Copies of this chain bind each other. A is one copy, B any other.
Amino acid sequence: MNRSGLSEQQLQAYFTLTEVGNLLEQAVSSQLRADGDLSPVQFAVLATLGTSDATYRMTDLADRIVYSRSGFSYQAGQLEKRGLIAREPSPQDERSTLVTITAAGRELLARVMPGHVDVVRGVLFEAMPDGDVAVLQGVLGPVRDRLRAAPPRSARPRRRS
C-alpha cells in the first residue's frame, strides 16, 4: 500500500487493464468501421439487441452501453436512419421507447461479426492460454455485475429548470 491508497500491484493492474482496453478498442474500431461503417458504440447497441432477444428501453440501453441519454439518442438516431434498429412507444408506459433490432440490423451484425471476432482473437486470445479465459471472466465478471447493480448514470437527479 503506497501513500495513495492503492497498492503498487493494484495500480499496475489498473494501468494494464486500461492499456489493454484502449488497444483493443482501437483495433476493433478500425475493423468495425471498415467492414460495417460502425463505431464501437453502434456495434455494442446492435450486439446487445441481437444477442439477447430482449427489448430495451432507451434509458436501459444507454445505461448498459454506458452513455448519456442525449448521446444515446443521437446514436439511436444514426442507427435508425440506416434502418438497423427501430423505435416504438411502449404500450405499458407511453413515456418509454422500446428499441428493437431490424432484419437489416441483424444482417449487418452477421456480416461484421466474423472479422470482428478475428480481431478480438488476434489481440486478446491468441496468446492467452485457454485456462486464462475462465480466470479473466472469474475476476472481472463480479466487478461488472456489481457495477451494473450500482445506481446508473441516468438515475442521477437532473437539475430543475
Contact = CB atoms under 8 A, between A and B. Distances in A.
B123 A147 contact: yes
A114 B146 CA distance: 23
Contacts of A104: none
Interface stretch (A4-12, A72-80, A81-89): A4-12
A103 interface: no
Contacts of A11: 117
Secondary structure of the A contact surface, majority rule:
helix
Q: Count copies of this chain in the complex.
A: 2
A60 to B, nearest CB: 14
A4 B66 contact: no
A23 B123 contact: no
B19 A137 contact: no
Interface string A117-132: 1101101110110001
Interface residues of A, number: 52
24 contacts: A4-B114, A6-B121, A7-B133, A9-B133, A10-B120, A10-B121, A10-B124, A11-B117, A12-B137, A13-B133, A13-B134, A16-B140, A16-B141, A17-B20, A17-B24, A17-B136, A18-B21, A20-B144, A21-B21, A22-B65, A26-B153, A127-B146, A132-B139, A135-B135
Interface of A: 4-7, 9-26, 44, 47, 65-66, 113-114, 117-118, 120-121, 123-125, 127-128, 132-137, 139-144, 146-147, 153
